[in-house]
Structure 1
């Protein structure tokens, strides 16, 4: 089929081309008497045809033809890899029934269907069905379905084999509907109620300090044991430390148990809360919860100096006083050279301080002599600057002896602003928490709108937004100067975030200030490599995150270095990783969740083949009982997903029906794909060969009859 002549104008031009070609051919031989009549008309036709073909190619016609191909249909299979599918309860015999279901799906018959199999727990992963370990400690069906939607190419249907129990993430219904394919759900597991007692919602501080007391709070859920006395035992380093007894009065009840623990020595303390197995209880696997506490020898010592009375000052001090890891003292400038709070006088030196926070420094009315004393003290340790309405912004750089990382460049109008995270710095450990989707909708801040930049070695973590546009002015900047860390927050009215009715903004303010203070207080590592996991303990099912920074011998970020990490424990063979560089000598590594246990790590910084530095340490992964807290199969959820997507719902006893259900829905035959191929005429050399042939034939006739 030829296209390109659909309009009236194109048809008219085509007709004119035919008439012109015919007329030109006739005119060429109309007065010729050397050729016989037959030869003359043949030569005329050849000349006209060649000319018409050349004119036709100028129209750029397109040849179209259709073709059909048969393809195997693509069906994704998602198999629940969580530990809950191995529980033997009611009619469900755990792993034995699971593998029977897999065999009954008919995955071996690939004559007309190509099956793409995946396992899932915390997320989706490709796997051979027979190689699933069935050890997942958390289940996030919603995230797994979203990952399938992003990762898969052509997909005609989905077979979802699961008990429908998810203990992380959102309801998976919308994610299943977004796949836009029929979902066939196979419900595995059991729906029967059982008698059980379990330990859950254990609250504790993962970091404690020598000579301090820590609170451990646990919730005990009773399901089916009324009028019973139940012992709750606390083990410390595998030694029984304390026993408490709770009394149940109803068949279903929840009870809170508190333990107070004294910490006397530095190190890692291992705890376990345990309930002895009760007669008639279906499993004791969820009767215990193990965790660790990192006991440190000293608290962070912080001096907070305020140079103005403002709600931000009280809000920050409240944050400091409620943090058990911080030993803080507070002083407020009263004018002249006087302070209230603390000892009433500045310390002689900063030898005993990990951090000085200067809130509202330098005030416009601060005497030069006091300013010099403050800066002499601040230059001896880590320091954070927080601006306030009375801060002398015009003379900030000079007053801080170039220590403040944010510098004024010109006129600095004060306005209503909002923060935004610098995309280039969102991997910084200060942002190691859940960030709100849109910070610009948070409570209003006040501060300089524009005409600020940062020192050459500084890193801008937050930028200034004014009327929903980024001005480029730094709002939070940090830098390392020698062995000290310096930061500056160039905005105020953060107390409004503390008072916000929206928890995401309250949490952002608290986490940001807490992480900023902890980062600044720790100072700079003496070695060339700074490396640590994001926490000292993790729960099963959590990804393990590490961060590192490498500097040269001169203290500058080393952009040519690489970092290798090895992990080892009794639970796994030694694993090696290469950290991902995120720029400016910084690195990040995130591993898959690890089994419960204690792990040691060894990080090595390299420049080429030369070893620069090495850091060793350990962390723990606590056993998770999430998969044992809810074991009742969710048939209604799986039935709704199947019906809303046009699939089908079956229980594990009916899994053998899946191949027939697929055929009934049209998935037992090849998928026919019809496609159209379009080719432009001038892309084929055959047309030009035809023109040459026509002209050659005409030339031959002329030579036969000795025409010039």
Structure 2
């Protein structure tokens, strides 16, 4: 303990001498004069009061230093996930035995963890471990310990786990900066479990009726190399297709390519399964479920023409011959008038807009603008130039929504042939027509405008023009993808010639129909015109997960609707019906939270209304069940556990000798008290009684002066 001042003690000493001299001098000139003991006593009282005030003015601080020891702490993290049930043993029994074998030590602090970590106090009986966690997040468990023991005497962490991480980040990165050593005890054996597992199953989210849907399955195995296993795809318990593969060696992957053909529209759940084989550690990692939306293959196409022409007739013939196309035609007759009747009121119901030379000289500006706004709102478009196209109007109205826009309009036309670019030869529109893409240059010439074209953002040129033997940098076939919306443009009049070919071009006879079909399919491939779209946030929820939904509601031209009422109806596995209203978030988005649901397969429908009018509906399925993440790869991962230990400055410990290791830490001095030095500082001004003492000294001096008759 000591006392410190804001100024040098020398200054305080000098001040004390001055105060003493002043007190003695002041009583040498008093009336009446005092001497002897009275002068000494009165001067001493005055000096004491003055000195105490001086001391307080110099801001003294009373400092006390206390030295103690903080007891050590050792955190023990025990993996309580499902994966500990697998393998030889299984590892769960060894973990329980190791935990029960730890010494009764006040320094130990237990945590059980799986997806998150929970403190279990100073004791964790082995039989209290349920091994039911659906995920393993080692990094989160270590981070929890680091937070809970911040600033305390944590001397190390003992991590008991199989090291199979199924959630969160890599714990080895966290171990590099961990403040204390991590001692890892590996539960299980990486080589003891024979297992075949479905590593991945991949397919398209959207399929069409009558079109093949490919499904690729990746299979890995341990201990079954060279054996045969069946990979199947099933729906509603019925196997649709199967393929037999040879099980790969350890660490390798075998691929099974399966194909199914949906026969009806709807939302389907397909279960892909491998095996099972006799002697597997678990069969819960043998299958995965895929959710696919199957759409009707029919495409509603609106074709608007600048007027009758051979190009219009050729396009119409090809589209009419396609059973998957529901074609509506409007041919310009005069300003604002069409031969077939007025433009449809609801453009949002179409999957594709084909502009056959439109707009022409007779195009009504209001109607053209309405079509352009529909394209800007998300309607795919295919533009085919004809001799009736008004390029100036095309640029003003559709220049922002097509792949190219007229930059400098020039009249007339020149005969050119199609010259695929390198990108075009590899693109699905040209690659797969049944003839080599470079052979398309032999098609009859068509008339291209000398207009200079500007490629729009997101556009790409699949073919340029060729005159004679010279290929020019002028687009003839261009595509554009803007988000999920696609458009295409064929910038040459007279493409009808590609449909009627001479005998020497017999190999190209189907090129025109194939090109139109591929352009239609490409532009509509990612099109989702549904006004109501509702999806569960997962296809399969865990037993402890909250079931949540996300929805979208759109109006004409895909404009978001924020004030709709979106009702969700869920059919439970037991046949019951539950309803919920989805909550709007703005910009046409809606959410719902159904809470934790019992395991099983669920079906749902969603219907949106606004002001009593029905806007549309959607439907689908989802499942609730135990997640198979912990079973995807049985067996331990000792390499990861070794990395965690070494990067943190710890060591790998045998699970059967864990208790002995902890006792050894104590004996080696690794679990010692941490010296704590505590400094307490108290300003003397905080002691109010010192001011009272100074006042008391001055009071005694004053009373004494009065008793001896001093003034």
Residues 79-90 of structure 1 mapped to structure 2, 5 A cutoff: 79-89=78-88
1:221 aligned onto 2:217: no
1:100 aligned onto 2:97: yes
Structure 2 unaligned residues grouped into runs of 5+: 305-323, 328-334, 336-341, 381-395, 402-454, 461-479, 487-523, 555-559, 609-616
1:513 aligned onto 2:486: no
Map of 2:202 onto structure 1: 203
CA contact (8 A) 1:223 1:253 kept: no
Paired residue secondary structure (2:179): coil
Residues 657-668 of structure 1 mapped to structure 2, 5 A cutoff: 657-664=660-667, 666=669, 668=671
Map of 1:687 onto structure 2: 690
- Select the residue among 699, 704, 708 that pairs with 2:707: 704
For residue 185 of structure 1, report the CA deviation from its aligned partner.
Answer: 1.5
CA deviations on 1:51-79 (whole Å, 9 max, x unpaired) are 22222222222221122455444443322
Distance 2:696 2:217 in 1: 94
Residue 492 and residue 647 in structure 1: after superposition, are their counterparts in 2 closer, same or farther (change >3 A)?
farther
Map of 2:150 onto structure 1: 153
CA deviations on 1:301-321 (whole Å, 9 max, x unpaired) are 89999xxxxxxxxxxxxxxxx
- Select the residue among 27, 30, 41 that pairs with 1:29: 27
CA contact (8 A) 2:86 2:281 kept: no
CA deviations on 1:458-479 (whole Å, 9 max, x unpaired) are xxxxxxxxxxxxxxxxxxxxxx
Map of 2:681 onto structure 1: 678
Residue 666 and residue 301 in structure 1: after superposition, are their counterparts in 2 closer, same or farther (change >3 A)?
farther
Distance 1:22 1:604 in 2: 97
Map of 2:371 onto structure 1: 377
Structure possessing the higher radius of gyration over alpha carbons: 2
Distance 2:18 2:587 in 1: 72
CA contact (8 A) 1:189 1:632 kept: yes
CA contact (8 A) 1:353 1:381 kept: no
CA contact (8 A) 1:80 1:120 kept: yes
Residue 300 and residue 577 in structure 1: after superposition, are their counterparts in 2 closer, same or farther (change >3 A)?
same
For residue 566 of structure 1, report the CA deviation from its aligned partner.
Answer: 12
Residue 691 and residue 493 in structure 1: after superposition, are their counterparts in 2 closer, same or farther (change >3 A)?
farther
Distance 2:53 2:183 in 1: 59
Map of 2:17 onto structure 1: 19
Distance 2:303 2:693 in 1: 92
Residue 494 and residue 515 in structure 1: after superposition, are their counterparts in 2 closer, same or farther (change >3 A)?
closer
Map of 2:442 onto structure 1: none
1:134 aligned onto 2:131: yes
Map of 1:351 onto structure 2: 347
Distance 2:293 2:379 in 1: 30
Residue 249 and residue 160 in structure 1: after superposition, are their counterparts in 2 closer, same or farther (change >3 A)?
closer
For residue 676 of structure 1, report the CA deviation from its aligned partner.
Answer: 0.9
CA deviations on 1:449-503 (whole Å, 9 max, x unpaired) are xxxxxxxxxxxxxxxxxxxxxxxxxxxxxxxxxxxxxxxxxx985679xxxxxxx
CA contact (8 A) 2:241 2:259 kept: no
Residue 95 and residue 250 in structure 1: after superposition, are their counterparts in 2 closer, same or farther (change >3 A)?
closer
CA deviations on 1:609-663 (whole Å, 9 max, x unpaired) are xxxxx99985325765443343343334434433443434212211222431442
Map of 2:633 onto structure 1: 630
Residue 651 and residue 546 in structure 1: after superposition, are their counterparts in 2 closer, same or farther (change >3 A)?
farther
Structure 1 unaligned residues grouped into runs of 5+: 306-325, 330-336, 338-345, 359-364, 387-398, 405-490, 497-509, 606-613
Residue 251 and residue 638 in structure 1: after superposition, are their counterparts in 2 closer, same or farther (change >3 A)?
closer
Residues 372-521 of structure 1 mapped to structure 2, 5 A cutoff: 372-377=366-371, 383=377, 513-514=483-484
CA contact (8 A) 1:538 1:620 kept: yes
Distance 2:3 2:683 in 1: 9
Paired residue secondary structure (2:347): coil
For residue 18 of structure 1, report the CA deviation from its aligned partner.
Answer: 1.6
Map of 2:244 onto structure 1: 245
- Select the residue among 107, 117, 129 that pairs with 2:111: 117
For residue 679 of structure 1, report the CA deviation from its aligned partner.
Answer: 1.7
CA contact (8 A) 1:648 1:661 kept: no
Residue 518 and residue 96 in structure 1: after superposition, are their counterparts in 2 closer, same or farther (change >3 A)?
farther
For residue 600 of structure 1, report the CA deviation from its aligned partner.
Answer: 7.1
CA contact (8 A) 1:290 1:622 kept: no
- Work out the number of aligned pairs and report it: 529
- Select the residue among 527, 533, 536 that pairs with 2:536: 533
Map of 1:60 onto structure 2: 59
Distance 2:292 2:87 in 1: 34
Residue 68 and residue 577 in structure 1: after superposition, are their counterparts in 2 closer, same or farther (change >3 A)?
farther
For residue 162 of structure 1, report the CA deviation from its aligned partner.
Answer: 0.8
For residue 544 of structure 1, report the CA deviation from its aligned partner.
Answer: 6.2
**RMSD across aligned C-alpha pairs, in angstroms?**
5.6
CA deviations on 1:92-114 (whole Å, 9 max, x unpaired) are 324322322232334xx463x26
Distance 1:291 1:663 in 2: 53
Q: TM-score, normalised by structure 2?
A: 0.59
Paired residue secondary structure (1:631): coil
Residue 689 and residue 588 in structure 1: after superposition, are their counterparts in 2 closer, same or farther (change >3 A)?
farther
Residue 550 and residue 351 in structure 1: after superposition, are their counterparts in 2 closer, same or farther (change >3 A)?
closer
CA contact (8 A) 1:291 1:622 kept: no
For residue 202 of structure 1, report the CA deviation from its aligned partner.
Answer: 0.9
Distance 2:82 2:29 in 1: 98
Residue 233 and residue 592 in structure 1: after superposition, are their counterparts in 2 closer, same or farther (change >3 A)?
same
Distance 1:706 1:518 in 2: 116
CA deviations on 1:160-182 (whole Å, 9 max, x unpaired) are 11112224555422302322112
For residue 692 of structure 1, report the CA deviation from its aligned partner.
Answer: 1.5
Distance 1:213 1:85 in 2: 41
CA deviations on 1:679-706 (whole Å, 9 max, x unpaired) are 2222221221221222122223223323
